[in-house]
Chains A and B, each alone.
Chain A
Amino acid sequence: MRGAVTDLRALASASGEDMPPSALEDLQRIFSLAITLEEQLAAPSTHHDLMNTISAMRGYAEMLQEDIGAQQPALNDSLTRLLKATENASVGAASGIAAQRAPAMAAEPGFILAVDDLAENRELVARYLSRSGHLVVTAASGAEALRALAESDVDVVLLDLMMPDMDGREVLRRIKANPDWRATPVIVISGSQDMDGIIACIEAGADDYLFKPFNPVLLQARIKAGIERKRWHDREEQYRQQLERNEKFIRATFGRYLSDEIVTDILERPEGLELGGDLREVTIMMSDIRGFTSLSEHLGPAEVVAMLNRYLGAMTDIIMAHNGTIDEFIGDAILAVFGAPQRRDDDADRAVRCALAMQAAMQGINADNAAAGLPALATGIALNTGAVIAGNIGSERRSKYGFVGHPMNVTSRIEDHCRGGEILISDSTAVKLSGRYTLSDRRELEARGLDQTVLVHRIEEYRDG
C-alpha cells in the first residue's frame, strides 16, 4: 500500500501540470485517505471505519481513472496498483485482522487455552486469536490441557472433542469437576455436525460450541462472550470475598461484646458497616464485685484469675442472652450497654431483667466457689439511662466500639453506692420501664463530681411478664 502511494505521489508531482484541478484534488484526497488508513491499521479502530476509508479510497481512485486514466497511462497503472492494494487490505481486514476491531467484536484480551490434537488446527486458532490481542496457549492432548489449566489462570478453553487418549468430553468432565476450574468457560469444537454430542457437552457444563470448519468471526464472538462471562464471574467472586471479609471483620470486632443476634442484625442491615459515632439513648449497666480487691489479696494469682473468669463467663452469657453489649471488663467490673449498636423499645426492661438474672446467678457461682474452697462473692449493679455518643473510639491502631458522655459518669457514681447483691437504677431508667417491678428505697444520691443529685430506686424483683 505504501509503495503504491509513493509511486502515485511521484507521478502526481511529475505530471501535476497536465492534470485538471479537480483531478489534483481527488489525488490529494487519496493521499490523505492513505494516511488515515495507515493510522487505522496501526491503532485499534473499528472494522466499519476501516471499510469506510478503503471504500472512499477505492471510489476516488476509480473516478480518477475514469477521468484521466486514458491520458495518463502511468498514473492509471499506479492507480490500478493502489486499487489492488486496497483490495488486499480489505480482504485482510475481513478475514480477521480487523474483524475483531469492529465494535461488536472488540474483545477484552483474554488468556485462551486451545486444545486440539492436530498441529495445524492449533496453529490456525492461535493465529486468529493472537491477532485480536488474546494470549493463546495450546495443548495437544487432554493431559496437556489439564496441566496448562493447573499452571495458569485461563479465561476460556477452546476444546476439540475428537482427540485420541483422553477425548474432549472427558477433559470437559474433569474441568467441571474441579472447583478451581469450574467457572472457566469451555467452548467445545466438533468436527462433525453432531448435535447430540454437542447437547451432551452443554449438559455436562460446556458454555458454547462451534462446528468445524469454523468461521473466524464467529470464533471471535464466542471467545469474547466467554471472556466476558469469566470476567463477570471473577468480579462476582471478588465481591463475595470482600463481603465475607467485611462480615469477618464485624464479627471479630463485635462478636466478643455482642450477642450473635445483634451481630447478625448489623450484618443484615446495609448501613451496618458504617458505624460512625452517633448520639443515642442507651441504658448503661455497671457492675462490680464488692470488696474484690481486698478479697484477692488473700488468694494466689491463679485462683484470682480462675474465679474471675468463672464469674465473668457466667455474667457474659447472661448479658448476651439479654442482648446487651459488653463494652469492657475492668478487673472485676463490667460495663455493658443496652440500646447500642441497635436500639430496641425494651432496652431498659432488658437491662433490669438482665441485672436480676445476674444477681440470681450469684447463688450458683458462690456454691461453686464454696466447693472449690473459695470465698463467696457479692456484686452490685447500677443502671442508668441517657444519651451517649456511641462509635468506634480510639486511634487508628487500636479502636473499639465504645461510649462516652455524662450518663456514663452518672452510672459509675450510682455504682459506687451499690451494696453487695443490690441493683440500683436511676429514675431515668425507671421511667422507661414498661414491665412491673417492685421498686423500693427511693432516694437522692449526692454523688461526687456531679452538680445535681441523682434520684435512684432499688429493684427488688420482677413481678410478671
Chain B
Amino acid sequence: MAEQAPILLVEDNEINCEMLSRRLTRAGLSVITAADGVQALQLMASAQPALVLMDMNLPVMDGWSACRAARQNPALKDIPIIALTAHAMETDRQSALAAGCDDYATKPIDFPDLLSKIRRLLPA
C-alpha cells in the first residue's frame, strides 16, 4: 500500500474529515484532503490520487459540479470517485452515478462497507 497513490478525501465538515482520514489511514491508505470542489479539482490534477471520496454538499463548488467537471477533463476522467451524501434515496444514488461517480455511500458512513467499495475501485 505504501506505493499506492493517495486517496483524496473531499469533505468540508472538519470533524468528519478528521475522523474519516484517520480511519482510512488506519486501514493502510494514504490520505490527502480538500474542503471544497475547486480545491478538489486542483488536487486531483496535481496529486493524481488513486481515488476520490467526495462529499456532495460542498462550499464554493458542490460535489455534483466537481464530478461533472472531472469527468469532462481528460486528465481526471479516469480517477474513480465515490460520492458521499446524507441522502439515502434511490434518486440520489442515480444522480450521483449520472454525475459521473463510480459508487455511492450514505452518511452515517458504514466504514467496512465504504472500505470494500474503495478496494473494489482501487487499481490492483
Q: Which residues of A contact B (CB under 8 A)?
A: 29, 33, 47-48, 50-52, 54-60, 62-63, 66, 86-87, 90, 94, 102, 215, 217
- Taking CB atoms, residues of chain B closer than 8 Å to A54 are 107-108
Interface residues of B in 92-122 (CB under 8 A from A): 107-109, 111
Beta-carbon contact of B108 and A55 below 8 Å: yes
- Residue of B16, B87, B88, B89 near A59 (CB, 8 A) is B16
- Residue of A56, A87, A94, A102 near B16 (CB, 8 A) is A56
CB<8 Å pairs between A and B, sample of 15: A29-B15, A47-B86, A50-B86, A51-B86, A51-B107, A52-B13, A52-B15, A52-B86, A56-B19, A58-B109, A59-B16, A59-B23, A102-B87, A215-B89, A217-B89
Q: Tell me the nearest residue of chain B to A89, going by C-beta.
A: B108
Q: Tell me the nearest residue of chain A to B19, going by C-beta.
A: A59
Assuming the contacts A48-B57, A55-B107, asked whether A33 and B15 have C-beta atoms less than 8 A apart, the reply is: yes
Assuming the contacts A62-B111, A90-B108, asked whether A56 and B13 have C-beta atoms less than 8 A apart, the reply is: yes
- Taking CB atoms, residues of chain B closer than 8 Å to A59 are 16, 19-20, 23, 108-109, 111
A101 to B13, CA, bound (A): 18
Beta-carbon contact of B109 and A102 below 8 Å: no
A229 → chain B, closest Cβ, in Å?
22
B92 → chain A, closest Cβ, in Å?
10
Q: Tell me the nearest residue of chain B to A29, going by C-beta.
A: B15
A250 to B87, CA, bound (A): 55
Majority SS at the chain A contact face: helix
- Taking CB atoms, residues of chain A closer than 8 Å to B107 are 51-52, 54-55
A153 → chain B, closest Cβ, in Å?
33
Assuming the contacts A56-B16, A59-B23, asked whether A48 and B86 have C-beta atoms less than 8 A apart, the reply is: yes
- Taking CB atoms, residues of chain A closer than 8 Å to B77 are none
- Taking CB atoms, residues of chain B closer than 8 Å to A52 are 13, 15-16, 86, 107
Q: Mark B45-60, 1 if CB is under 8 A from A, else 0.
A: 0000000000001000
Q: Tell me the nearest residue of chain B to A57, going by C-beta.
A: B108
- Taking CB atoms, residues of chain B closer than 8 Å to A57 are 108
- Taking CB atoms, residues of chain A closer than 8 Å to B87 are 47, 102
Assuming the contacts A52-B16, A52-B86, A94-B88, asked whether A58 and B26 have C-beta atoms less than 8 A apart, the reply is: no
- Taking CB atoms, residues of chain A closer than 8 Å to B109 are 55, 58-59
Q: Tell me the nearest residue of chain B to A105, going by C-beta.
A: B87
Beta-carbon contact of A63 and B22 below 8 Å: yes
Q: Tell me the nearest residue of chain B to A103, going by C-beta.
A: B57
Assuming the contacts A52-B13, A55-B109, asked whether A60 and B86 have C-beta atoms less than 8 A apart, the reply is: no
- Taking CB atoms, residues of chain A closer than 8 Å to B16 are 52, 55-56, 59
Q: Mark B7-23, 1 if CB is under 8 A from A, else 0.
A: 00000010110011011
Beta-carbon contact of A60 and B19 below 8 Å: yes
Q: Tell me the nearest residue of chain B to A215, going by C-beta.
A: B89
Q: Tell me the nearest residue of chain B to A59, going by C-beta.
A: B19
Give the one of A50, A52, A59 with max B CB within 10 A: A52
B62 → chain A, closest Cβ, in Å?
11
A102 to B16, CA, bound (A): 18
- Taking CB atoms, residues of chain A closer than 8 Å to B89 are 215, 217
Q: Tell me the nearest residue of chain A to B92, going by C-beta.
A: A217
- Taking CB atoms, residues of chain B closer than 8 Å to A217 are 89
Q: Mark B71-94, 1 if CB is under 8 A from A, else 0.
A: 000000000000000111100000
Beta-carbon contact of A102 and B111 below 8 Å: no
- Taking CB atoms, residues of chain A closer than 8 Å to B20 are 59
Give the one of B20, B22, B87 with max A CB within 10 A: B87
Q: Tell me the nearest residue of chain A to B112, going by C-beta.
A: A62
Assuming the contacts A52-B107, A55-B16, A58-B109, asked whether A102 and B86 have C-beta atoms less than 8 A apart, the reply is: yes
B57 → chain A, closest Cβ, in Å?
5
- Starting from the known contacts A51-B108, A62-B23, 14 additional A-B residue pairs (CB-CB under 8 Å) come to A29-B15, A47-B86, A51-B86, A54-B107, A54-B108, A55-B109, A56-B15, A56-B16, A59-B23, A59-B109, A63-B19, A94-B88, A102-B87, A217-B89
- Taking CB atoms, residues of chain B closer than 8 Å to A94 are 88
B36 → chain A, closest Cβ, in Å?
15
- Taking CB atoms, residues of chain A closer than 8 Å to B19 are 55-56, 59-60, 63
- Taking CB atoms, residues of chain B closer than 8 Å to A66 are 26
Give the one of B16, B23, B108 with max A CB within 10 A: B108
- Taking CB atoms, residues of chain B closer than 8 Å to A33 are 15
- Taking CB atoms, residues of chain B closer than 8 Å to A62 are 23, 111
A86 to B107, CA, bound (A): 12
Interface residues of B in 14-40 (CB under 8 A from A): 15-16, 19-20, 22-23, 26
B88 → chain A, closest Cβ, in Å?
6
- Taking CB atoms, residues of chain B closer than 8 Å to A60 are 19
B80 → chain A, closest Cβ, in Å?
21
Report the 6 A-B pairs with minimum CB-CB distance, sorted nearest first. A51-B86, A55-B108, A59-B19, A51-B107, A55-B107, A52-B13
A81 → chain B, closest Cβ, in Å?
16
B74 → chain A, closest Cβ, in Å?
32
A104 → chain B, closest Cβ, in Å?
9
- Taking CB atoms, residues of chain B closer than 8 Å to A29 are 15
- Residue of B13, B57, B86, B108 near A58 (CB, 8 A) is B108
Beta-carbon contact of A63 and B15 below 8 Å: no
B106 → chain A, closest Cβ, in Å?
8
B105 → chain A, closest Cβ, in Å?
10
B123 → chain A, closest Cβ, in Å?
26
